[in-house]
């Protein structure tokens, strides 16, 4: 399995290099290819971040200063074809590496977890064809759907998630969009230590309606292992916006059902979310309720390919749904303060399958402030504080971040 994975990665690297530079022979023979390469663009991002995690347990407070450097080259278009190669490098800066990454065995059991391992790797490397209606993309790629609740790139962490995949897309004049992905490998956020060989099938359809954008999806997730395993999720989603008097409103309705099979274990669970938003002058508020159901208190609805940091609080206490399931009632406010954007959110968590000892899953307060500086600089400060509930393994937790992002 590992040799197959290495061969696949080497193939992606070769593809990325071929897309980005071409062979010397082809370059000499083809003026059109040379022109496409000369029209290529280079872009990048540098993200310098300090993160501190303090938990009410025996682990020491984690402190990390890390720098993410990502450089991306995109060729010009030649007969509908383009190539992309993007490399990323994550480094500990100033010796500030007092944190744990259990998935890579980095200082495990000493400090609280900060999931930013040091690594240099290919984040994206693919060849794409697009004629305006049809799209074909082959190689390592970033895949994000909707609000990334089910499929995302985890862009909050320094090591982004990407996928070795084949993507097929279609869009017609009525704006119906159909996308299919076959994923052969999940390149997760823990360097290469936790990458997973897979046989995943993703189908995503979007269609505009008079009341909003309607989405239907089916995500069939399979680890490439001998043990029978299936995580099948089917859902529908509706998002829209409406101007009511002087108020701009938004809404989100989503429902999904899931079946999980792992060896002899077989579970079913449901998901739904309801959210409404309104903008009053400079302030935007949202009120929502997200439900990840349980199957008899033995299994909680799972979203393993999601950008999980965006949901159920920034303290990342529920990256895996507890077996009791989780209900998350939340409210948020965002507005302009001191030339930046101040955001406040409150979450109240409870169990779907309550027991005599587990009902309350805690609560959380989130606060952030971001300041754009000119066009390519962003300064940010962010804090999350979680207060524990009835699950013994969950403890009080505070997380603080500050960062500077530079893009070009």
Q: What is the pLDDT of residues 194-219, one digit of tens each?
A: 899 999 999 999 999 999 999 999 99
Kind of pairing, strands 265-280 and 283-292? antiparallel
Burial classification of residue 163, based on how many CB atoms lie within 10 Å of its CB (0-12 exposed, 13-18 middle, 19 or more buried): buried
Q: What integer pLDDT is reported at residue 167 of this predicted model?
A: 98
Predicted confidence (pLDDT) per residue in 97-142, tens digit:
999 999 999 999 999 999 999 999 999 999 999 999 999 999 999 9
Q: Which residues of the chain have pLDDT under 70?
A: 1-31
What is the secondary structure of 218-246 as a DSSP string? Answer: EEEE-BSSSS-EEEEEEEEEEEEEEEETT
Pairwise CA distance, residues 160 & 163, whole Å: 10
Looking at the DSSP assignment, which residues form a beta bridge with residue 299?
none
Apex CA 327: angle with CA 326 and CA 328, to 5°?
115
Inter-residue contact 267 to 300 (CB < 8 Å):
no
Q: What is the distance between the terminal CA atoms of the chain, rounded to a whole angstrom?
A: 39
For the chain, which domains are there? 2-407 (2.40.160.10)
pTM metric for this prediction: 0.90
Q: What integer pLDDT is reported at residue 245 of this predicted model?
A: 87
Q: What integer pLDDT is reported at residue 213 of this predicted model?
A: 98
- Going 58 to 94 to 91 to 306, the CA torsion angle's sign is positive
In terms of DSSP H, where are the helices of 244-284? none
Apex CA 37: angle with CA 36 and CA 39, to 5°?
65
| Helix, strand and coil percent figures for the chain, each rounded to 5 | 10, 60, 30
Inter-residue contact 190 to 104 (CB < 8 Å):
yes
Q: What integer pLDDT is reported at residue 302 of this predicted model?
A: 98
Smallest Cα–Cα separation from 289: which of 254, 258, 320, 323? 254
Pairwise CA distance, residues 256 & 291, whole Å: 10
């Amino acid at each position: 399995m590992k040799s197959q994975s290495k061969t696949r990665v080497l193939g992606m690297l070769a593809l990325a290099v071929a897309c980005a530079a071409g062979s010397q022979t082809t370059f000499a023979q083809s003026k059109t290819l040379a022109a496409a390469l000369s029209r290529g663009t280079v872009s990048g991002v540098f993200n310098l971040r300090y993160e501190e995690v303090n938990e009410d347990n025996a682990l020491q407070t984690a402190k990390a200063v890390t720098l993410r450097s990502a450089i991306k080259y995109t060729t010009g278009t030649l007969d509908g074809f383009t190539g992309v190669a993007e490399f990323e490098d994550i480094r500990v800066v100033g010796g500030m590496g007092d944190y744990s990454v259990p998935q890579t065995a980095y200082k495990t059991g000493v400090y609280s977890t900060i999931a930013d391992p040091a690594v240099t790797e290919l984040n994206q490397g693919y060849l794409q064809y697009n004629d305006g209606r049809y799209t074909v993309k082959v190689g390592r790629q970033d895949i994000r759907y909707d609000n990334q609740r089910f499929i995302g790139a985890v862009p909050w962490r320094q090591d982004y998630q990407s996928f070795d995949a084949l993507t097929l897309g279609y869009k017609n004049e009525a704006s119906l969009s159909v996308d299919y992905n076959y994923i052969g490998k999940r390149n997760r956020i823990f360097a290469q230590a936790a990458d997973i060989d897979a046989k995943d099938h993703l189908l995503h359809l979007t269609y505009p309606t008079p009341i909003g954008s309607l989405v239907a999806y089916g995500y069939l997730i399979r680890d490439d292992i001998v043990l029978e395993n299936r995580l099948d999720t089917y859902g529908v989603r509706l998002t829209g916006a409406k101007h009511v008097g002087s108020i701009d409103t938004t809404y989100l309705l989503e429902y999904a059902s899931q079946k999980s099979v792992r060896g002899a274990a077989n579970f079913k669970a449901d998901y739904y979310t309801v959210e409404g938003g309104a903008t009053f002058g400079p302030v935007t508020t949202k009120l929502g309720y997200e439900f990840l159901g349980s199957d008899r208190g033995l299994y909680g609805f799972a979203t393993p390919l999601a950008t999980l940091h965006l949901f159920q609080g920034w303290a990342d206490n529920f990256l895996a749904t507890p077996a009791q399931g989780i209900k998350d009632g939340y409210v948020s406010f965002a507005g302009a303060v001191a030339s930046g954007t101040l955001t406040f959110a409150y979450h109240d968590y409870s169990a779907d399958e309550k027991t005599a000892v587990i009902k309350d899953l805690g609560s959380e307060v989130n606060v952030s402030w971001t300041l754009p500086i000119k066009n390519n600089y962003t300064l940010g400060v962010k804090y999350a504080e979680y207060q524990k509930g009835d699950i013994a393994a969950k403890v009080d937790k505070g997380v603080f971040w500050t960062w500077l992002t530079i893009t070009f």
